[in-house]
Amino acid sequence: MSLFLRAARPLDAGRMGEILHRFQRETDWMPDHHTGAEAIAHCDAMIRMGWVTVAEYSGAVVGFLARHGEEICALYLAPGAQGSGVADLLMAEAKARSPRLWLRVIAANNRAHRFYLRAGFAEVARGDGAENDENLPDITMIWQQESGR
């Protein structure tokens, strides 16, 4: 079987919530203020709003990207999918659907910050965390499709 992208379905919320909650638990700088059940409910809400694209490999969700209009609200991968190109595919799909994207990345998340820079995003502002659920300093980044495309 191969890797493919598809719109998330309601039954994906459990696996997505597991990926999201695992990141929270295993990241030392991330506050532990959501339960696994809350992570699943959050993913379920994003799915119901039609925001989520999942990456599936061999019948299992290995990553997801949630986009609301131009805002990328979430991009998370299962541990085994990191560094495999899954995030690149999810991002390429989001870029194909919108000529402009923006997001906030937690400043302490150096790996994600580097990924977004490589993906063509530019840093436009830094915040004190008042605009994110974690209340951690963040970086606002924007990607704009080049003219003439």
> 145: how many CB neighbours lie within 10 A of its CB?
13
- If one compares 106 and 134, the residue with the highest pLDDT of the two is 106
d(CA 84, CA 87): 8
Mean pLDDT of 44-57: 97
Count of the separate structural domains present in the chain: 1
Average pLDDT of the chain to the nearest whole number = 92
Q: Tell me, what CATH number does 56's domain have?
A: 3.40.630.30
User: Is residue 149 in some structural domain?
Assistant: no
Whole domain around residue 43: which residue ranges? 3-144
Which pLDDT does position 26 carry in this prediction? 85
Q: pTM score, two decimals? A: 0.92
- Both tokens of 3, joined, read 């890797």
pLDDT > 80? residue 89:
yes
d(CA 141, CA 144): 10
**Own/partner long-range contacts of 74-80 (Cβ < 8 Å, ≥24 apart):** 74/20, 74/46, 75/103, 75/112, 76/16, 76/19, 76/20, 76/23, 77/19, 78/19, 78/22, 79/22
CB distance 19 to 65 below 8 Å: no
